[in-house]
Amino acid sequence: MLGLTLLLVGVVGGGTAGSGEVVSDLIIPFDDTAFVDNGDASEQVDFTGSIHLVVKFIPPSPIIPPSPIKIHTNMMGVSGTGRTSGLHYELTGSANFELPANALDNLSFSGSYRLIPPNPIKGQDLTQSIRYHIQLDDSGNVLESTATTTEPTF
Cα gap 9→142, rounded to integer Å: 10
**Preceding amide of 120 cis, omega within 30:** yes
What letter does residue 139 receive in the DSSP assignment?
A: T
pLDDT, position 10:
39
Question: How far apart are alpha carbons 117 and 34 in whole angstroms?
Answer: 13
Q: What is the pLDDT of residues 109-126, one digit of tens each?
A: 999 999 988 776 655 678
Query: 0.85 exceeded by the pTM?
Result: no
Q: How many CA atoms does the CB half-sphere of 119 hold within 13 Å?
A: 0
Of 5, 6, 25, 7, which is closest to residue 15 (Cα–Cα)?
25
Check: CB of residue 91 under 8 Å from CB of residue 100: no
In percent, the amount of the chain with pLDDT more than 70 equals 79
**Residue 39 φ/ψ, nearest 5 degrees:** 75, -120
- 9 pLDDT above the threshold of 80: no
Mean pLDDT over 126-148 rounds to 87
- Report pLDDT digits (tens) over 47-91: 999 999 999 988 777 767 778 899 999 999 999 999 998 989 999
